[in-house]
Amino acid sequence: MGNNLLKGKKGIIFGALDEKSIAWKTALKCYDEGAQLVLTNAPVALRMGEINKLADAVKAPVIGADVTNLEDLKNLIDGSMKHFGGSFDFILHSIGMSLNVRKGKHYTEMNYEWNQKTMDISAMSLHKVLRTAWDMDALSEWGSVVALTYIAAQRVFPDYNEMADAKALLESVTRMFGYYYGQKKKVRVNSISQSPTRTTAGSGVKGFDGFINYAEKMSPLGNASADDCANYIALMFSDYTRMVTMQNLFHDGGFSFTGVTGAVIEQMEK
């Protein structure tokens, strides 16, 4: 049972593919905290049909939208405003896709056409979502927008490939649009930098098992789970974080500020 943290709030959740998705857990959490939701994903993801289970559980309509397509986004925001009976309070951007990673292209041999598509889906899509909401005056005052990111935006994790550049751009859009939306309507925009998590997108990274185990050993609290992340996102949508904006918030069990741990030193001494 929740604590009615989001009672009376309404929002759109992008990116629930299956029950492992961070967006899936977040939808369940927000519903549990009293929010009303609209779910969305790319038409190709909707064809899997999984999202209908979530829609039943959180009593939300599903409106398909390819996040790179402005017409789709307009249709989504329009449908959501009709459903909610006006403006709404929050948006979760939980979207990532790398064509070069998917097709096994090394960073130094990047295909630039694929790279443009990656940037569009994984980073500039946040701009497109915010711009559409801005143009349609869809977000209420003190609204909150959260995008998910990874620490490869600040430090090199070689196998994260072009997604490191995409996340750096995503975090910049968060700050830039956060500035304008804050001034215009007191809407806040933040990114959450999450621990490696076993999901479809996460497992696409080469050597993911080694990577997630390393992060676990390098984090004083251990890796943050998708459920923990959902809790944090719900807090960011609540009125308890009204003055937080334009931030990249690490949600990683302490990984980002740890130089080394006893467990890693022990491993190196073997």
Which residues contribute to the site for ligand NAD (CB under 6 A)? 15, 17, 21-23, 41-42, 45, 66-68, 94-97, 121, 148-150, 194, 196-197, 199-202
- Closer of 87 and 248 to ligand NAD (Cβ): 248
* Residue whose entry in the numeric block shows the structure tokens 């999984």: 50
Query: Residue 23 Cβ, how far from ligand NAD at the closest point, in Å?
Result: 6
CB 241 within 8 A of CB 144: yes
Query: Residue 152 Cβ, how far from ligand NAD at the closest point, in Å?
Result: 9
Query: Residue 21 Cβ, how far from ligand NAD at the closest point, in Å?
Result: 3
Query: Residue 8 Cβ, how far from ligand NAD at the closest point, in Å?
Result: 27
- Closer of 122 and 245 to ligand NAD (Cβ): 122
* Residue whose entry in the numeric block shows the structure tokens 């308890």: 240
Query: Residue 133 Cβ, how far from ligand NAD at the closest point, in Å?
Result: 15
Query: Residue 215 Cβ, how far from ligand NAD at the closest point, in Å?
Result: 9
- Closer of 18 and 186 to ligand NAD (Cβ): 18
- Closer of 6 and 97 to ligand NAD (Cβ): 97
* Residue whose entry in the numeric block shows the structure tokens 């030193």: 265
- Closer of 5 and 76 to ligand NAD (Cβ): 76
- Closer of 140 and 148 to ligand NAD (Cβ): 148
Which residue's Cβ has the minimum distance to ligand NAD? 202
- Closer of 15 and 178 to ligand NAD (Cβ): 15
* Rounded Cα–Cα distance for residues 262 and 270 (Å): 13
CB 66 within 8 A of CB 40: no
How many beta carbons lie within 10 A of that of residue 133, not counting itself? 26
Reduce the secondary structure of 19-64 to three states and give it as a string.
CCCHHHHHHHHHHHCCCEEEEECCHHHHCCCCHHHHHHHHCCCECC
Query: Residue 183 Cβ, how far from ligand NAD at the closest point, in Å?
Result: 26
